[in-house]
Amino acid sequence: MIRNIFFSPSGTSQQIAEKIAADLEGISESYNLTVYEKRNITLNEGDLVLVTCPVYAGRIPPLAISRLRHLKGNGQKAIVIVVYGNRDYDDALLELCDIISHKGFKIVAAAAFVAQHCIFPEVAKGRPDRLDDDKIHDFTVAMDKVLKKGTRLDISKVKGNRPYKKPGSVPLHPLTVKSKCTKCGVCVKECPTQAIPEQNPLKTDTDICITCCRCINVCPHDARHLGGILYKVAGWKFIKDNSERKEPEWFF
Ligand SMILES: Cc1cc2nc3c(=O)[nH]c(=O)nc-3n(C[C@H](O)[C@H](O)[C@H](O)COP(=O)(O)O)c2cc1C
């Protein structure tokens, strides 16, 4: 059984994880840790664990680490994936390898895939696209062989440094267009940090919002967005600096 475990506020890590799981040989079961923690991931001896997380500021989001805290391996094989928005994945893949290996898994492969940047969607717009799908397929074909061999990945080959880069937060938070918001409560329910108050969904608690953009993605009325002068200025430079297409990378 493939245990497909992912944290994916804006959905691209989930998309990539599901494509990989579907392309690998075997039946898979998904565990979406984005909104609620699913505690009971009961593993069997021969299971393959696929763990996928997005990159935030070159690291694994602390909330994703916390959601993974009940996961415990007993020598099962694991594939570790990070998904990033075409800037860089810095130390995130190495960090996730360290986390999963400390939990008792035998990592056989690690990979970084690219997706549309959730904060600046002009960057890597529309990704994963057809070329990414081809790369995902190449990866899974290679994986079939790697899994048969079962050799443990030498984590020192994975890109990244220890100590990992200092975590950073983004000083931008989604805003609500009052005229579009119907107070339907979808964003309240779906926010991974409960940063949107039920009584007043026009507000966002900026102390706990992690700018994951889930509210923007799930709003059925297109009422949530990022904006303001800081967003525009930061976006102009960010888009200019990160428009060159980056390709997936993998290690095994
Ligand atoms: C707070 C935050 C920080 C981010 N930092 C990075 C980064 O350091 N490098 C990068 O390339 N993309 C970065 N991104 C973009 C995400 O990694 C990218 O959009 C990813 O596809 C999101 O995954 P998801 O759709 O599964 O939520 C960041 C996104 C957020 C919300």
Chain mean pLDDT for the chain: 96
Q: From the CA of 13, how far away is ligand 1's center (Å)?
A: 10
Mean pLDDT of 78-97: 98
Span from the CA of 200 to the centroid of ligand 1 (angstroms): 27
Q: Looking at residues 193-205, what average pLDDT do you find?
A: 96
Q: Determine the Cα–Cα distance for residues 46 and 151; give it in Å rounded to an integer.
A: 15
Q: Provide mean pLDDT across the span 3-17.
A: 98
Backbone phi and psi for residue 101, each to the nearest 5 degrees, phi listed first? -70, -35
> Domain segments of the chain: what residues?
2-164, 175-225
State whether the beta carbon of 217 lies less than 6 angstroms from ligand 1. no
Report residue 46: phi and psi, to 5°: -90, 10
Question: Sorting pLDDT into bands at 50, 70 and 90, what band is 38?
Answer: low
* Alpha carbon of 151 to ligand 1 centroid (Å): 30
**Taking the CB of residue 194, how many other CB atoms lie within 10 A of it?**
13
Q: Which CATH class is domain 2-164?
A: alpha beta
Closest residue CA from atom 12 of ligand 1: 85
Ligand 1, closest atom to CA 214? 27
Dist. CA 145 → ligand 1 center (Å): 30
pLDDT over threshold 90, residue 40: no
Any ligand 1 atom below 6 A from CB of 174: no
Contact, 87 vs 123, CB < 8 A? yes
- Is 120 touching ligand 1 by the criterion CB < 6 Å? no
Whether 214 lines ligand 1, by a CB cut-off of 6 Å, is no
* pLDDT of 125: 98
What CA–CA distance (Å, rounded) separates 13 from 17? 6
- Ligand 1 in contact with 13 (CB < 6 A)? yes
Ligand 1 within 6 A of CB of 33: no
Indicate whether residue 52 lines ligand 1 (CB < 6 A): no
Residue 39 has pLDDT above 80, yes or no: no
Q: What is the 3-state secondary structure (H, E, C) of 190-250?
A: HCCCCCCCCCCCCCCCCCCCCCCCHHHHHCCCCCEECCCHHHHHHHHHHHHHCCCCCCCEE
Q: Distance (Å, rounded) from C-alpha 91 to C-alpha 197?
A: 34
Residue of minimum CA distance from atom 17 in ligand 1: 84
Q: Which CATH number fits domain 175-225: 3.10.105.10, 1.10.3720.10, 3.30.300.30, 3.30.70.20?
A: 3.30.70.20
pLDDT at residue 169, as a whole number: 83
Give pLDDT tens digits for 113-172. 999 999 999 999 999 999 999 999 999 999 999 999 999 999 999 999 999 999 888 999
User: Which atom of ligand 1 sits closest to the CA of residue 169?
Assistant: 1
Rg of the chain over Cα atoms, rounded to whole angstroms, equals: 18
Determine the average pLDDT of the residues in 9-25: 97
Rounded percentage of the chain residues whose pLDDT exceeds 70: 99
SS (H, E, C) the chain: CEEEEECCCCCHHHHHHHHHHHHCCCCEEEEECCCCCCCCCCCCCCCEEEEEEECECCECCHHHHHHCCCCCCCCCEEEEEEEECCCCCCCHHHHHHHHHHHCCCEEEEEEEEECCCCCCCCCCCCCCCHHHHHHHHHHHHHHHHHHHHCCCCCHHHCCCCCCCCCCCCCCCCCEECCCCCCCCCHHHHHCCCCCCCCCCCCCCCCCCCCCCCHHHHHCCCCCEECCCHHHHHHHHHHHHHCCCCCCCEEEC
Mutate to test the pocket of ligand 1, among 15, 56, 165 (most ligand atoms within 8 A of CB): 56
Q: What span, in angstroms and rounded, lies between the C-alpha atoms of 74 and 44?
A: 9
Does the predicted TM-score (pTM) go above 0.95? yes
